[in-house]
Structure 1
């Protein structure tokens, strides 16, 4: 898989039915290794090892209803009280991050109401804090660590 703009992490792989699979420690199962999945797995390790978010507060690839449509978010980080701290949108490295990507995560966040957003294709990462009072994004240089 392509080298991403993350630290080097250790992963478990296996080959099954002509597919390479990677072990997702959040879902506790092997999943097919596609470019977007490679980014998602690196994001999970980044959240755990670099930003010190506990695994039990991270959720990956779950169904979400947005305007009556079924969507899937890539990753969430919860606060201990169950409210949502971070929504993460992952794209494959070949996908450029653009306004449509931010529009997608903003639509998801209408339902989720997170404090922070992270958008990444593994090569470029964008972080922002939501200012709900003034209805704007505040872009950050990096994702705040768990405190």
Structure 2
């Protein structure tokens, strides 16, 4: 399990027609403040403010097709080359991060292959990395730093 110390929240929260709404700076709109949304906004805040992930390279509730079904990933992080790099599945704090949650995100990986999968409920966070040599997922002790994939061009001999 990875210990996450969320930065102090600085969210814009309002109430409309008896519903609490939170401003999502990534989607640039107010959304209903559900327990899962609270976890998602705190985790996004952590990725940007503590881990220096570029907010412009994140997609929230990214739609995808799993066979006949349309599903949404909570968070997809992309590389600077616009390649999917990490999928994050958020659950509300009372939800256990069990094998069903892990199976859910692995199914997302089938439609959107990435090297990292993260599940979090705000209290507990797990990260898995695909071991391509062995073809299996391995739990990581921490979240990876954001990749800087700007490699120097190689010189080819003629």
Q: Same fold (TM over 0.5)?
A: yes
Give unmatched runs, 5+ long, in structure 2: 148-158
Q: After TM superposition, where is structure 1 displaced by more than 3 Å over at least 4 residues in a row?
A: none
Confirm or deny that 1:108 pairs with 2:108: yes
Higher alpha-carbon Rg = 2
| Aligned residue in 2 for 1:84 | 84
Measured after TM superposition, the shift of residue 130 of structure 1 is 1.1
Cα distance between partner residues in 2 of 1:46 and 1:78: 16
Equivalenced residue count is 144
Confirm or deny that 1:34 pairs with 2:30: no
| Aligned residue in 2 for 1:20 | 20
Cα distance between partner residues in 2 of 1:5 and 1:104: 25
Q: Any idea what the Cα deviations from partners look like across 1:42-88, whole Å, max 9, x if unmatched?
A: 11111101111111101101211012211111001000111111100
Q: Calculate the TM-score normalised by the size of structure 1.
A: 0.93
Measured after TM superposition, the shift of residue 5 of structure 1 is 5.5
| Aligned residue in 2 for 1:44 | 44
Cα distance between partner residues in 2 of 1:116 and 1:61: 17
Partner SS for 1:8: coil
| Aligned residue in 1 for 2:11 | 11
Q: Any idea what the Cα deviations from partners look like across 1:80-120, whole Å, max 9, x if unmatched?
A: 11111110000011110100000000000011111111100
Give unmatched runs, 5+ long, in structure 1: none
Aligned-residue RMSD, C-alpha: 1.3
Q: 1:5 touches 1:123 (CA, 8 Å); kept in 2? A: no
